[in-house]
Amino acid sequence: MQTKFMEVPILEFKYDETKGEFECYVNTKHNIDHAGDRPMDGCYSKSIAKHMADNTKPKMLWSHNPAELPVGTWTSMKEDSKGLRMSGILLPTTMGKDIKILAEGKALDSFSIGYREIKAKWNESTKTNDLYELDIKEASWVNFACDENAQLESIKSNMALGELPSKRELQNILRQYRFSKSQAEKIVNHYDPTEDIFEIMAKLP
């Protein structure tokens, strides 16, 4: 089952300069992305419950890049009438400090979740893939350029039609997420469309 990504502009972003804590929506319900995916009421609830039972949280990454260290930690997550609301702390690493400065200066304005689609149903009347259950793996700060977004959405559109990305498409998008050429080639060489990309990367030496 493939990991997919859905981005959303920051909504009601609140930052506590004293504690370094913030809260925001990392995904909103009934928001239709370019691939036609639409999160529905309750789609996050089982993943939230599982994280709570396992005492885990999604990773906080920069631009969905699991090859780099996390930039902070999520401290809470809940579903409300708008979507998936999360609280977190940016840690004082180099990247964490950079993101803090950019966010406070309103230069960063988007989040994106990385998730596995567990339960979905095609809605013929709205022409959307309605998402009823998601396995939330990570929530990233993101800053997509237009060309990167166009390619990502093109691949997502193909996947919505049942077509998996080619090795070349996968390599290109990994390079856009700041993987080195050798890292991207190593991942692509182990690419198995039946496996999740994070599981593939976890097996690499």
Where are the domains positioned within the chain?
Answer: 3-203
Backbone angles phi, psi at 25, to 5 degrees: -95, 125
* Burial class of residue 177, CB neighbours in 10 A (0-12, 13-18, 19+): buried
When pLDDT is averaged across residues 45-65 and rounded to a whole number, the result is 94
pTM of the model: 0.66
Q: Quick check: 4 and 198 in contact, CB under 8 A?
A: no
Q: Quick check: 16 and 108 in contact, CB under 8 A?
A: no
Amino acid at 56: T
* Burial class of residue 115, CB neighbours in 10 A (0-12, 13-18, 19+): buried
Q: Write out pLDDT tens, residues 106-124.
A: 777 678 888 899 999 999 9
Q: Write out pLDDT tens, residues 137-196.
A: 999 888 653 333 334 444 444 555 556 666 666 666 665 555 666 777 777 777 766 666
pLDDT at residue 80 in the model: 93
CA 51 to chain centre: 16
When pLDDT is averaged across residues 84-100 and rounded to a whole number, the result is 90
Q: Quick check: 40 and 27 in contact, CB under 8 A?
A: no
- What is the distance between the alpha carbons of residues 33 and 186, in angstroms, rounded to a whole number? 30
